[in-house]
Structure 1
Amino acid sequence: MDYRLCGRFNTLRAFYPDELDKSPSIKFHNNGKIKNYCPIEDSGNQECKTDLDKIKAVFLWLFEQNIISRISNLSEDQPKVFITYIIIWLNYILRLKNVNDFKNISEIYEANIKNNTDYINHDTCAKDCNIILKEKTEYTDFKELIEKNECLMNISINDISKFYDAFKILCNMYIDYNGNSSNCEKCSENAIQFVKKYNDLNKDSGITEDSPYYQALSTLSTDYNNLKDKCNDISPFPSIETIKIHVKGSEQKIEQTPAPNSEATAQSPSIGNKLFIVLSIFAAIPFFLGIAYKYSLFGFRKRTQKHHLRENLKK
């Protein structure tokens, strides 16, 4: 994250607000660069008539402004970080504007963005932008940059949109900081608000290391800690908790029973044998008691007969 990226989002809110009760201070089509991404009408003019048209145009504008036109100066990690934030905004605004035609970003991408030549064929770089992207990252073109982030593309719109508030607060911190450590004190209040939002997000019980939720949370925490490190000697920010990765429950572990091994196989007959022995003992008890009873009865009769014999001899 940097203040330039956040500045673009601030500019965006002037002509396409992120709150329903706010009116734009600039007409949407007065931004010529965004208008260039609107559909071409029969008259030959480009115009975004629906919210979906506007959202698609803004997505492409954000992508061009923050990634394509800056690719020569971005670090290796920044393109992926920036696309994460653009997708967070996209999820949030789709939910805000109640666009229910799509379940996730992958669907809107396939239907409206994938084959758009405005970001596939571009001439904003001194040399081919795709070559520069390939030199900096493992991606061969900007289309692949989006599609390779499949983790974020397939998340439910309702799930990822909750990250937008934390992202917006963090962006305000970067704008206040403006690349100058003397501005750190301006960020302190927003830092407290960000930590609260972040810790609330971190309480989600569904965080796993390979989830889009984890990817978004990790991106936010990294950018917060980067700014925190720059301001520590001037205006220390509160620390954030480490991401709580939740291990699957015991029920799921039981379902994923490992293949039998020699130790497990050896233990099973042992338990069975012990059980057989115990049951055999209980089954044998009545049998032996019966024998003992018969033997004692036989002995009792023998003793009685001997007693009568001695009595007769005395007579």
Structure 2
Amino acid sequence: MASGVCNAINGIERLIDVKEEDSRVSFKCNVVLDAYCPFKSTSRKNECHSYAEMVSSSVLFLLKWLESSYDYEDYLKNDKFAEYAILWLSYKLNKYPQNKITTLNDFYTQHIEKNEYYNVKITKSSDKKTYKDIIYRKHDLMNIGIKDMPKFYEAFKSLCDMYTELDKE
């Protein structure tokens, strides 16, 4: 894992504004994330109307950011970026649980499978996979409960913090 991955995840965190008020969660997407939100015919633009839509948009933005910002020589082929994105996704879904989403497979079915933006071919992937393809290849992670995955994210985040500290020195 390179510090670039950690920087990308920290960057995504800065693009998301989530507030808890009583038992409600309100959010605001940065405009760069709106591009991957579903198109709403009523407003005639891409908008995220739910926390889950915003997180889905963020995962796609994270994957695209990692692809374009860091030269990992077809690293996406090895699915590492998908693993990092899935860890982050599970952390976000556990932090703010969503109705009827208890596993990553639930989220995949509702917010990734039919999302046109996940069907775009990855430009730096030699086998021309889509973003949906690389996430689906991690189906072994998909049935793990969302409440269990954050334990892995905490370890990942600790490694990121160490990388970030070492980069400062």
TM (normalized to structure 1)? 0.45
| Contact 2:39 2:45 (8 Å CA) reproduced | yes
Inter-partner Cα distance in structure 2 for 1:7 and 1:20? 25
The structure whose residues are more often helix, as a share, is 1
Distance apart, 1:77 and its partner CA: 4.8
- Give the aligned residue type for 2:8: R
Inter-partner Cα distance in structure 1 for 2:3 and 2:75? 16
Distance apart, 1:86 and its partner CA: 1.1
- Give the aligned residue type for 2:149: I
Residue matched to 1:56: 56
The structure whose residues are more often strand, as a share, is 2
Structure 2 residue 139 is the aligned partner of structure 1 residue 150: yes
| Contact 1:134 1:141 (8 Å CA) reproduced | no
Deviation per residue, 1:248-267 (Å, 9 max, x gap): xxxxxxxxxxxxxxxxxxxx
Deviation per residue, 1:105-144 (Å, 9 max, x gap): 122112211232223225xxxxx71xx4135xxx744332
Structure 2 residue 10 is the aligned partner of structure 1 residue 36: no
Consecutive unaligned residues of structure 2, counting only runs of 5 or more, are: 22-26
- Give the aligned residue type for 2:151: K
1:170-209 counterparts in 2 under 5 A? 170-178=159-167, 183=169
Residue matched to 1:8: 8
Distance apart, 1:34 and its partner CA: 0.7
Q: 1:17 to 1:92 in 2, by over 3 A?
A: farther
Distance apart, 1:97 and its partner CA: 0.6
SS in structure 1 at match of 2:135: helix
Consecutive unaligned residues of structure 1, counting only runs of 5 or more, are: 22-26, 123-127, 184-315
Residue matched to 1:209: none
SS in structure 2 at match of 1:133: coil
Deviation per residue, 1:232-281 (Å, 9 max, x gap): xxxxxxxxxxxxxxxxxxxxxxxxxxxxxxxxxxxxxxxxxxxxxxxxxx
Identity of aligned residues (%): 27
Deviation per residue, 1:276-303 (Å, 9 max, x gap): xxxxxxxxxxxxxxxxxxxxxxxxxxxx
Residue matched to 1:207: none
| Contact 1:34 1:61 (8 Å CA) reproduced | yes
Inter-partner Cα distance in structure 1 for 2:120 and 2:83? 22
Residue matched to 2:80: 81
Deviation per residue, 1:211-248 (Å, 9 max, x gap): xxxxxxxxxxxxxxxxxxxxxxxxxxxxxxxxxxxxxx
Distance apart, 1:94 and its partner CA: 0.8
Over 6 Å off, 4+ runs: none
Larger radius of gyration: 1
- Give the aligned residue type for 1:134: S
SS in structure 2 at match of 1:92: helix
- Give the aligned residue type for 2:131: F
Distance apart, 1:89 and its partner CA: 1.2
SS in structure 1 at match of 2:126: helix
TM (normalized to structure 2)? 0.79
Inter-partner Cα distance in structure 1 for 2:153 and 2:118? 24
1:247-286 counterparts in 2 under 5 A? none
Residue matched to 2:24: none
